[in-house]
A and B are shown apart, each in its own frame.
Chain A
Amino acid sequence: MIRDLHQRLQERYLSAQELTDQYLNTIREKDQSLGAFLTVFEESAREEARRADEKIGRGEKIDLLEGIPGALKDNICVAGTRTTAGSKILDNYIAPYSATVVTRLKERGTTILGKTNLDEFAMGSSMENSAYSKTVNPHDPNRVPGGSSGGSAVAVAGGEAVWALGSDTGGSVRLPASFCGIVGLKPTYGRVSRSGLIAMASSFDQIGPLTNSVEDAAIVFSRLAGSDPLDATTADLPAGKPFEEFLENSVEGLRIGIPKEYWTDTIDPKVRALCEQAVERFQAQGMKIEEVTLPESRLALPVYYILVPSEISSNMARFDGMKYGFSVNDEKKTMADTSRLLETYLDSRHYGFGTEVKRRIMLGTYALSAGYYDAYYKKASAVRNLIKKNFEDIFNKVDLLFSPTTPTPAFRFGEKTEDPVKMYLSDIFTVTANLTGIPAISFPVGWVLEEGRNLPVGGQLMGKWFDEETLLRAAHAFEKNQ
């Protein structure tokens, strides 16, 4: 889609301003019911489009993403604009600087339409934890779009943006991509800078694109990737590799592992059938299929839900009502008539945070507290290393791994909110990529009929560290022959 739009812009069949207006109109028409956006940048988007048109008017060649309208999850900072992370505690927060990904995209002349809704601080699998609007699945408004980058997924699937960025800590790009029938890429940890991304769990978070096709994901990803001095965890790899140019290389002979621990009875039979058909299609394209075993992966979800809340409890400590964000000490009160320092912390956090954030802060604090650290955090860290070792061994035998992205298609609102473990189980196939740092992509493999509605199903390919090229190539080959 991006390449086609680019060609139409470059050849002047369409102006960037017309394209942007078209998307701004769609947002105006549809977003009241979809609820994807928290903030729309009408003025700056038009200005960015005007600049792209000027360049085209001067006969200059524009970048593939130049003048192509997209959206950002609202935990990615854009200087001078409101950035809420889906939380009331940041209701009035104006970002003082831009995330590296935003700077890189702006350098390419892209058009940013606005900021999208998310589960509070990206904590959630369903989009039922935002402190703001309700975001619905474009294929069935009674069902969740998936979280936590649900606003970004709905913006793309609902035709309100060509591309969008999300963040993935345990599946938050891939899961909503799967539920909304689009493509979602979680790059290797360290491939894309996290500078300017509001942290949830720093050793897991990674920014990735949500798009209509694998090629579009490759185009956006190419413009994000690369080492950044502002993020010491980025790998020392140069920016600017055009991943979209390698998509047509042959996939024949690629070895795809099917981890038997992933293909359990918990998978909805219709989802399973579609994913089995996908395996057959990989085979028909000359890829080799092999059953593999990842014995420790059964521990991945409990390990994830110990380590991530532990990092959350630490990262959320910065929201204390003192430096920025919501505070019980607002300007109307004087220092003399309000409470002590401890009460400022307790009350600001009590009123500022929602239920899931509080739950995870509590879990993390408990897991890190004296007497429980060895039993939980230390043990979970050791298992994380073991799981990573499992993956290192398996990637000596195969190039990629394939599984469903989620055990079920999109579920109904309220179906899992009463039981946190039931909700956490939605992430069972996605968390290992974040535990180990490997790249993974979700792409549509078909549709299932549920209560009279067609719902999309996603398949997930996981690849070797920093080998997004093979991952994208295999997913592209599948998509092309669908």
Chain B
Amino acid sequence: MALTLEEVRHTALLARLGLNDKEMHSLQKDLVTVLDFFDELETFVPQSTSAAASLLPGRARSDIQVICPSEERAAIKKNFPLAKDNFLKVRSIFSV
């Protein structure tokens, strides 16, 4: 399977992943190798189009508000790369 460098660049942007030129070329090669490995799946024609909905155990969690303990909240805030007062500081989403 062919994969252009432009497709690799586009996928990296979708993934919000910064890559240098060397990584782009190396990943282009790796992705082609792995995608070729998936070719075996082409021989398979699914009888049903349903995805793996019933595969796993699980139940809906009750919609209960759980208050985060103050020590845990403080520990979470300690991991903020940038903070101001009691808030997580983030970049502005829109440029002015």
Residues on A lying within 8 angstroms of B by beta carbon are 79-80, 93-97, 189-190, 203, 229, 232-236, 298-299, 301-303, 305-306, 313, 317, 320-325, 327, 329-331, 335, 338-347, 349-351, 353, 355, 358-359, 361-366, 369, 376, 378-386, 388, 419-421, 424, 436-437
Contacts and interface: CB of A to CB of B under 8 A. Distances in A.
Interface of B: 8, 11-12, 14-20, 23, 26-27, 30-31, 33-35, 37-38, 40-41, 44, 46, 48-52, 54-61, 72, 75-76, 78-82, 88-93, 95
B14 A365 contact: yes
B27 A359 contact: yes
Contact of B11 (A80, A338, A353, A362): A362
A341 B79 contact: no
8 contacts: A79-B75, A189-B56, A235-B57, A313-B15, A327-B81, A362-B12, A378-B51, A388-B52
A190 B50 contact: no
Contacts of B88: 322-323
A382 B81 contact: no
A324 B79 CA distance: 5
A386 B18 CA distance: 37
A421 B34 contact: yes
Given A190-B58, A342-B16, A385-B50, A96 B75 contact: yes
Contact of B55 (A325, A364, A388, A420): A388
Contacts of B11: 362, 365-366, 369
Question: From DSSP, what is the main secondary structure of chain A's interface residues?
Answer: helix
Given A346-B16, A362-B8, A363-B34, A302 B41 contact: yes
Given A330-B81, A382-B51, A190 B56 contact: yes
Given A305-B37, A322-B90, A379 B46 contact: yes
A362 B15 contact: yes
Contacts of B38: 302, 305-306, 376
In order of increasing CB-CB distance, the 10 nearest A-B pairs are: A350-B18, A96-B75, A346-B18, A327-B81, A324-B79, A382-B46, A381-B51, A341-B91, A190-B57, A365-B15
A355 B25 CA distance: 13
A183 to B, nearest CB: 25
- With a 10 A CB-CB cut-off, give which of A324, A325, A437 has the most chain B CB atoms: A324
- With a 10 A CB-CB cut-off, give which of B15, B19, B20, B93 has the most chain A CB atoms: B15
Given A97-B75, A329-B81, A362-B8, A346 B55 contact: no
Contact of B41 (A94, A236, A299, A325): A299
Given A232-B58, A349-B16, A388-B55, 16 more contacts: A79-B75, A93-B79, A317-B16, A329-B82, A330-B81, A335-B91, A346-B16, A350-B18, A350-B19, A362-B27, A365-B14, A365-B15, A379-B46, A384-B55, A388-B52, A421-B37
Contacts of B37: 301-302, 305, 421, 424
A381 B11 CA distance: 21
B82 A341 contact: no
A340 B96 CA distance: 11
A299 B17 contact: no
Contacts of A322: 81, 88, 90-91
B52 A385 contact: yes
Contact of B40 (A189, A302, A346): A302
Nearest to A321: B81
Given A299-B40, A329-B82, A94 B75 contact: yes
A382 B48 contact: yes
A216 B59 CA distance: 31
Contact of B57 (A189, A378, A385): A189
Contacts of B79: 93-94, 96, 323-325
A449 to B, nearest CB: 32
Nearest to A385: B52
B76 to A, nearest CB: 5
Contacts of A235: 57
B72 A349 contact: no
Contacts of A436: 55
B90 A341 contact: yes
Nearest to B13: A346
Contacts of A301: 37
A432 to B, nearest CB: 13
B57 to A, nearest CB: 4
A189 B93 CA distance: 39
A340 B34 contact: no
Given A347-B18, A363-B31, A383 B58 contact: no
